[in-house]
Structure 1
C-alpha cells in the first residue's frame, strides 16, 4: 500500500485556457466603497494588450453626480502617479449607472482608480486588474483582401514609376521615347520589381517575427507537479514562467513560488474537486517548503479523478491560478482537517438542474440562495445573495469571519473550463485589493477596511445575509460552493445553476 502512494506522481499540465486569478473568467467584479459611496464595479478586461477595457459602475445611492476613472500601475514605478482621469458617462435612463472605457497599454498588475463625487464630497476606490493577452485577434477577411489588393496596386505603381522615369525622364515634353531605350526600361522594371519584392519579403518576415513575439506574451498558467508521499502528504512544485510587462522600463514578472504574498493569511489556496460529478470538494492551504515547493497533509479522500486549482498572488499583486489534475486509484486514509482547511461530499452535478435554492447545513440550519426567479444570463453582472438560518428557521446568529471574510465561494463550470474563487468583496484576491487601496491618498481612500463592503461583518459577528458580486462568463451548467464559519466550524453548501 505504501509503495502505491509513491507511484502517485502526476504531472499537472497547464491548461490552454486564458487564466489569471481565475480560469476562463477574466472579467473583474468588485463591490467596495469610494469614500462615502458604495459602488459595484465591473471591469471587462480586453482580450488583447494594448486594448480597451470597458468599465461599468453602479452606485448604491443616487447622490453620486460624477465618476472619473484612470488606469495605472498597481505596484512599482508609476503606481503613485495617476494620469489625468477620464469622465465616465452617466446613463440617461439610470442615473446610478456609469460607463467608461480605458486603454490598457501594458501587461501585468494594473489598477483602475475610481474617483466618485457627489453630495458627500469625493471618494476614491482602487480596483486591481490583471492585464494579460488572452489570445491573438485574426485580421478580418475583408480587410485582409483589401490590403492585399492595395499592396498589388502600389507595387505595380512603383515599378511603373521606375520604368517611366527611365523611358521618359530626360525627354522634352511630347517627344516620343526612342526604341533603343526599351532594353534599359525592361532592365529598370526588373530591378524595381526585385527591390519591391525584397521590401515585401523583409516586411513579411518582420510582421511574422512581431506576431511571434506578441504570441509569446499570451498568458498560460505555469506547470505544476504533484507527488503524494507514503504518509499521504501532497507535494507541489511549479516551474517559474516569465511574464513580460510590455514596457522596457519595467522588469518582467516571474511566476515563482518564492515570490508570493499572503492572501487571507495563506500563501496558497488549493482546491481539489472530483470530476466529472464535482461531488467532492476540498479547500486547503498548503505550507511553503524548501526549494520553492508546497506541502499539504491531505484529508481522507475517496478514489477518483480530481481537478486542481491553486491560487497564489505574486509580490507585484498579480494573481495566478495553477491548473492541473490528479488521480487517486484508491481511497486515501488521510489526516483530520485543521485550521482553515475544509471540504464536503455532495451529490453529483446533474445534467440539468432547476432552481434548487436551499442546502441543509451540518448540525441544523440551512443556507438559502435568494434568487429573483429570473434566468441567469452569461456576461451580466449580478449579486449572488445567500441567507443562513438556524435549525428553527430563524436568522443564524452564530456566523464568524472565515479568513477575514463573511464567506468564500468557488464557482465551477461542469466541464472545468471556468473556475472563480470569489468573496463578498468580489473576484479579486484580498492581497491585491489591499495593495490597491494602499496606493490611495489617505484623505480620500479610507484604507482597506473603508473600501471593503463591511455591512455583512462587524467585529467578530457576521450577518446572516451574504452577497457576492460576480458575472458568469459563458453559458452552461455551474456548481457554486459557498463556505461560511459557524460556531468555529467551517460549513460548505453547494448550489447548481444553468446559465443561458
Structure 2
C-alpha cells in the first residue's frame, strides 16, 4: 500500500471541528425524505464561506425548528434565518430572525414553522467576506401526537371543575338576588329562584361543554387525517417474463382517507436525472443490495428489470422521489423476489432498465439484529493512526474507510464518512462522476428502521433545493401548477434524452444543476459524506463510486452506541 498516497497528513482544523460538532436529532419512524431521522445536514460552499448546517424540524406543526450553522471558513458578522414555504414563496415569508453566536464560528437559533408541507430555511450571511444566501430544503410535517402530562391534566380538570361551580353559583345568585329590593325583606321564593337559576346555568354550561368537546374531537380528527404525515403507500411486486424478473412499484391510492391530502403524482421531478431511486436490500443479513432507477410506465406505476444475479428472498424496498413542490419522501415496502435459474449466457445478455443501475451480493452482516458489542468490522489496518476498514471491489481495487475515529461510533454525533479507492499496488485511482456527483452512499440499520440516501453535500435532495430556490425567485404570491399531462410528458422526454447522451455530456448537464460542493480533494480518489447516526444499533454502509465507466460498490459495517453521559 502506498502510504504517501493514502496518508493525508495531519488532520485539518476543519476535520477537528467536524468531529467535535454535535447535532442532536429527534428520531421518527415515519417515512419522510428518509427513514428514521428527521434532521437535515447540509455541507456547502457559498462565496468565501464554507458552511455546515443542521436543521431539525419539529415533529408537531406549528412548532420550532432547531437551526445550527458552523462556519468552517469565512468571516461572518451575523446570520439571519427565516422560513419560506413553497405555496406562499418569498412574498409571503416573514423577516429574518438573527441566530445567536455560540462559541467560535457557531450560530444557533429556533425558527417557527407554522405550516405543513414543502418549505425551506433561508440563511442570510453578512460579514467582511460579503453577503450570501443559502437555501436549505425542509420537509415540515407533523409526525407525532402529543399527550398532556397526567399532572397537568388533573390540575386543569380541578381548575375547570371549580370554574364551572363558580359559574353556576353566580348565575343562580344573579337570578335570585336581583329581585330583592334595598330595605325590603327577601321573598319566600328566593331559594327556589336561586335553584332555578343554577339549573338553567347547569344546562347552559353543559351545552357549552358538549359543543367544546365536539369541536375538540373534530380538530383532533382533522389533525390526524390532514396534518399528521402518512407516507404514500405503494404496492410492489415481481413478475417473470422471458426468464427476466421485473419489479413493479405502484402508488396505492385506494387507502387514502376522504380528508387525506393526496400527492400530485404527475408532478414527480428527476433527482440526479432519475425520477425514482429504488434500493432493494435482502433481509435478514443485508447481504444483497441493488440501486435501481425504474422507468415510469404511467402516473402511478414504475418498473425496473432486476439484476439476473440478484438472489431470491425477502427484500426491503426504499424508493426516493421528489415532487415539483420540493417535497421529498421515501416510499417503503417489502417484496418477495423469486429464485430463478438462468444460464451464464442469458445472464450476460440481460440488460438493466437503466445503465446506471448497480448491485452487489456480499457476505451478510454476520450478527443478529439485537446483538450488542459484537465486533464485525474488517479492522485490518490503521490509517493516519486511526482504525480503518478496507474491502475489495469488483475490479480488484480496494476501498478504504479513512479517518474512522474509533471502532464503535456514537449516536447523534456528526461524522465525516470519508472513503478512498486505491488500485492493487496501493496507488490512488481517479474516480469519475456517478450521476453527476463524486459518489453516493446508502446507510441502513440492521432492522431496517433507519435508512438514508447520502450525497457529499448532505442528507437532502438537490432536486428539492432547485425547486425551492426557483420558487423563491418567483415573484408571485401563489404558485400555479402547469397542466399535469403536459408537465409529466415534458419530464419523461427530458429523462429519456438524458439516457441517450454520452456519459461526460450527461454528467456535465447534471452537475450544472447542482449546488457547489466544498470537498475538493488533492487526489481524485476520495469521497466523503456528512452524517449523524440517529440512534444506537448495527449499521451497514454501501458506498458507490464510478471508475472506468463501471459503478463500484463497497460495503462496510459499523456499530453505533448511545453517547456516554
Q: TM-score, normalised by structure 2?
A: 0.78
Deviation, structure 1 residue 276: 1.1
Q: Report deviation, 1:100.
A: 0.9
**Could you say what secondary structure the match of 2:216 adopts?**
helix
C-alpha displacement at 1:498, in angstroms?
1.6
Distance 1:241 1:32 in 2: 41
Cα distance 1:182–1:494, how it changes in 2: closer, same or farther (>3 A)? same
Contact 2:444 2:540 (C-alpha < 8 Å) held by counterparts: yes
Cross-structure match for 1:234: 247
Which residue number in structure 2 is paired with residue 381 of structure 1? 414
Q: Distance in 1 between matches of 2:514 and 2:235?
A: 40
Report how many aligned residue pairs link the two structures.
468
Structure 2 segments unaligned to the other structure (5+ residues):
1-27, 369-373, 379-388, 475-510
Q: Equivalents in 1 of 2:163, 2:185: separation in Å?
A: 26
User: Which residue pairs with 1:285 in the alignment?
Assistant: 293
Note the residue ranges of structure 1 that are not aligned, 5 or more in a row.
1-15, 247-251
Residues 1:45 and 2:106 aligned together: no
Partner of residue 394, structure 1: 427
- Is the Cα contact below 8 Å between 1:302 and 1:330 reproduced in 2? yes
- The Cα of 1:479 is off from its aligned counterpart by 0.9
**What is the CA-CA distance between 1:118 and the residue it aligns to?**
2.2
- Of residues 198, 209, 220, the one that matches 1:211 is 220
The offset of 1:330, in angstroms, is 2.2
Contact 1:125 1:451 in 2 (8 A): no
Partners of 1:374 and 1:177 in 2: CA distance: 88
Aligned partner of 2:375 among 349, 353, 358: 353
- Corresponding residue number in structure 1 for 2:18: none
The superposition leaves residues 66-103 of structure 1 with CA deviations (integer Å, 9 ceiling, x where unpaired) of 21111102x34324664311111111xx3111111100
Q: Distance in 1 between matches of 2:150 and 2:341?
A: 55
- SS of alignment partner, residue 473 of structure 1: coil
SS, match of residue 142 in structure 1: helix
Query: TM-score scaled by structure 1?
Result: 0.87
Deviates more, 1:428-437 or 1:328-337: 328-337
> How many angstroms apart in 1 are the aligned matches of 2:93 and 2:129?
23
SS in 2 for 1:376: strand
Say whether the 8 Å CA contact 2:325–2:468 is kept in structure 1. Answer: no
Counterpart residue number, 1:478:
539
Query: Per-residue deviation at 1:243?
Result: 10
CA contact (8 A) 1:410 1:420 kept: yes
1:455 counterpart residue number: 519
> Could you report, residue by residue, the CA deviation over 1:130-159 in whole angstroms, capped at 9, with x for unpaired residues?
111101111111211111111100000000
In structure 2, distance between residues paired with 1:410 and 1:230: 28
1:24 matches 2:33: no
The equivalent of 1:120 in structure 2 is 129
Query: Contact 1:401 / 1:457 at 8 angstroms: preserved in 2?
Result: no
Contact 1:40 1:57 in 2 (8 A): yes
1:341 aligns with 2:367: no
Q: 1:85 aligns with which of 96, 100, 104?
A: 96
1:493 aligns with 2:554: yes
Query: Does the 8 Å CA contact 2:238/2:336 hold for their aligned counterparts?
Result: no
Counterpart of 2:528? 467
Instruction: Quote the offset at 1:435 in angstroms.
Output: 2.3
Compared with structure 1, are the counterparts of its residues 215 and 174 closer, same or farther at alpha carbon in structure 2 (3 Å cutoff)? Answer: farther
| Equivalent in the alignment of 1:10 | none
Separation of aligned partners in 2, 1:450 and 1:116 = 21
2:500 corresponds to = none
- Quick check: 17-26 or 432-441, which moved more? 432-441
- SS of the residue corresponding to residue 278 of structure 1 reads coil
Match of 2:141 among 126, 132, 154: 132
Pair 393,259 (structure 1): closer, same or farther in 2 beyond 3 Å: same
Judge conservation of contact 1:407–1:482 (CA < 8 Å) in 2.
yes
Secondary structure in structure 1 of the residue aligned to 2:38? coil
Q: Deviations over 1:367-420 (max 9, x none)?
A: 2222122742222333222222222222222x0000011111111111111111
1:11 matched residue in structure 2: none
Q: 1:298 to 1:109 in 2, by over 3 A?
A: same
Higher helix share: 2
CA distance in 2, matches of 1:127, 1:41: 8
1:326 to 310, 317, 335: 335
Alpha-carbon separation, structure 2, partners of 1:382 and 1:240 = 39
CA distance 1:472–1:68, change in 2 (3 Å): same
